[in-house]
Amino acid sequence: MSTLYDVALTFFTALGVVVGGSVIGSLATVVSPDSPVHTMLVIAKPIKLWAMVVALGGTFPTIQALDAGVWTGEFRLLLQHLALIVSSFLGASAGYWLVLALAGGE
């Protein structure tokens, strides 16, 4: 697999976890008096971290790859995993801003 494919997959996975989790999670308001829009905003912010973890496939393989990159001098592997971490962060943040835009702001 190419690095660009992995970066794009990580970005859109993180984005999808935030948007999907917020929208589907807001369905819980069917049994509560809260607003679905408010619930989307409440869910979207803390789910960003979990979206990054999901997009990276768990934290241990990434940390092991970073460790190997630093201590064995495999800088290409190090840069690849740093790109994946940045991509997951950007995807989760883009998902949060998309939910924020859908909900009309805070």
Give the whole-angstrom CA distance, residue 105 versus residue 9. 27
Evaluate if residue 59 carries a pLDDT over 70.
no
Average pLDDT, the chain: 85
Mean pLDDT of 28-48: 87
The residue range of the domain holding 96 is 3-103
Evaluate if residue 8 carries a pLDDT over 70.
yes
From residue 30, how far is each of 17, 19, 26, 47, 69 by CA, in Å? 21, 19, 8, 21, 49
Counted domains in the chain: 1
pTM of the model: 0.83
Better-predicted residue by pLDDT, 77 or 60: 77
